[in-house]
Chains A and B, each alone.
Chain A
Amino acid sequence: MSDALDSARRRSVGFLLRFVALLLVFYLIIASHPVNDAVIVPFTAAIASVSGRILNSLGEKTEVMGTEIRSSSFGVNIENGCNGVETALLFGAAVLAFPASGKRRLLGLAAGFVAIQILNLLRVITLFWIGLHRPALFNSSHTVIWQSIVVLFGVLLFLLWASRQRPLSAEPSPTSRGRSRKT
């Protein structure tokens, strides 16, 4: 039993080390100026553009300039940390650090990225609405509530994905002994 737990512990720590290493690599990639200018900023501008269109279809009169969404009385600039990329990085690093087949990882990454971005769009739209109609609530909604929700969503998505992975090798893992699977 102790060996089993030791083995599980080793794998767990191994996952964590891979996760942190991948996160650092991803950070270095997205923080570099060429990637930031060629990928992150246009991607963020696309988020602003889609959010602006949705807000306009909901009756708000907004205009989008680059990564900014403005109305006559309120404006937001979507920056790094608010474009869902940070949660996608977290999710991506966790999925790639977890042992699974390449195909399942790819599917997980694609589905997770889309889901995170959909939630992030909802975040941008509601934050703009809050800023416009309930400005006193904007700061706490922006910094704490929505950021936490999006990151938690990413973590829960990863846990859901990881719980559905099948083994890569036929070698039995001690952690699975006596464990009942819930769906």
Chain B
Amino acid sequence: MLNGRAVLRALVAFLLALAFWFGFSRPYERGIAAGAQALTNLFESPDVTRLQPSNGEILLDRRDFPPGSARPGLPGPDLHFNFVLLVTLFALDRKPLRGGHVGRFLLAAAALFLVHVLALVFQVHSVYATSLGAWSEATYGPVARNFWAAGFHFYQIAGRFAAPFALWWLFGRREEEEPSGGPRRTGKKKGRG
């Protein structure tokens, strides 16, 4: 699976994905923001959270914020640049453009979109729970504060890198190819140059 051609395909895919990501990250952020806002509003009463993408940031607004106060801006690219990793990993396949593989890539990309929406929900609650002073302490208990803050921190440190790898492993890696993820018998032993 991992040979010079695969690495070359990955390199080309990386550059193409990068160009695509630079071109489409703004509309993509609108989709993530809409999804995360809907999910957050679902558990709010009244539904006050508003997420508005603006110049690479997602502005976090609440209808009950004082009108003149500053709105926190959440950096968008940090959330979703791992799309580039997903594309690159899928390009390792010998025939990355065959129909089934493209279909599985689209499934993985849809799953990654859900991961991005969830990560943004965690980020919003992380801001609510830790950054709004007395309001945060009154509204979020210690367990809730740690849950939301640690959840988003996990995404920042490990989750955003692990998610494309896990999705590729699940959807994009062909079972007959190595590594299998389990004990296997190798054929005739060959020396390495």
Contact = CB atoms under 8 A, between A and B. Distances in A.
A155 B86 CA distance: 11
Range for the number of chain B residues in contact with chain A: 35 or more
B21 A16 contact: no
Contacts of B23: none
Contacts of A71: none
Given A144-B18, A144-B81, A167-B185, A8 B158 contact: no
B2 A160 contact: yes
* Most chain B beta-carbon neighbours within 10 Å: one of A30, A87, A140, A176: A176
A173 B179 contact: no
B84 interface: yes
Contacts of A86: 157-158, 161
B36 interface: no
Contacts of B192: 183
Interface stretch (B40-48, B64-72, B104-112, B164-172): B164-172
Range for the number of chain A residues in contact with chain B: 35 or more
Interface in A42-99: 80-81, 86-87, 89-90, 93-94, 98-99
Interface of B: 1-3, 7, 10, 14, 18, 21-22, 75, 77-78, 81-82, 84-85, 88-89, 92, 150, 153-154, 156-158, 161-162, 165-166, 169-170, 173, 175-187, 190, 192-193
Given A143-B78, A160-B2, A170 B185 contact: yes
A144 B79 CA distance: 10
A106 interface: no
Contact of A173 (B153, B156, B165, B185): B185
A31 interface: yes
Contacts of B182: 7-8, 11-12, 14-15, 99, 173, 175
Interface of A: 5, 7-9, 11-16, 19-20, 23-24, 26-27, 30-31, 80-81, 86-87, 89-90, 93-94, 98-99, 140, 143-145, 147-148, 151-152, 154-156, 159-160, 162-163, 165-173, 175-176, 178-183
A175 B181 CA distance: 10
Given A81-B157, A99-B181, A167-B183, 12 more contacts: A15-B182, A23-B162, A27-B154, A81-B156, A93-B162, A156-B7, A156-B10, A167-B186, A168-B183, A171-B183, A181-B178, A181-B187
A163 B1 contact: yes
B150 A31 contact: yes
A171 B180 CA distance: 14
A9 B175 CA distance: 7
B81 A15 contact: no
B178 A11 contact: no
A99 B183 contact: yes
Contact of B181 (A12, A151, A156, A169): A12
